[in-house]
Amino acid sequence: MRTPLATLVALDEDDLSEALIWIDWRSFESEVVTGFSDELAEDDAIGMLDEDEPRELVHRGATYAIPLTGSGRDRYVMIASVAQILKDRYSVFVHSDSYSDSDTHGFLVLTNTEADLARRQHADWLSRNFEPLPMGIDGFSGKPIAYLGYTPPEGEAEEPAPRKKPFWKIW
Q: DSSP secondary-structure letter at 2? A: -
Per-residue pLDDT at 51: 86
Q: What is the pLDDT of residues 24-51, one digit of tens each?
A: 999 999 999 999 999 999 999 999 999 8
**Residue 169 pLDDT class (50, 70, 90 cuts):** low
> Are the CB atoms for 83 and 135 separated by under 8 Å?
yes
Rounded mean pLDDT of the chain?
Answer: 91
Which are the contacts of 68, defined by CB distance < 8 A and separation ≥ 6? 29, 54, 55, 74, 77, 78
Per-residue pLDDT at 44: 96
Phi, psi of 126, rounded to the nearest 5 degrees: -65, -50
What value does the mean pLDDT take over residues 68-83? Answer: 96
Question: How do 21-24 and 130-132 pair as beta strands?
Answer: unpaired
Choose between 167 and 77: higher pLDDT: 77
> Are the CB atoms for 31 and 38 separated by under 8 Å?
no
Phi, psi of 110, rounded to the nearest 5 degrees: -120, 150
What value does the mean pLDDT take over residues 102-131? Answer: 97
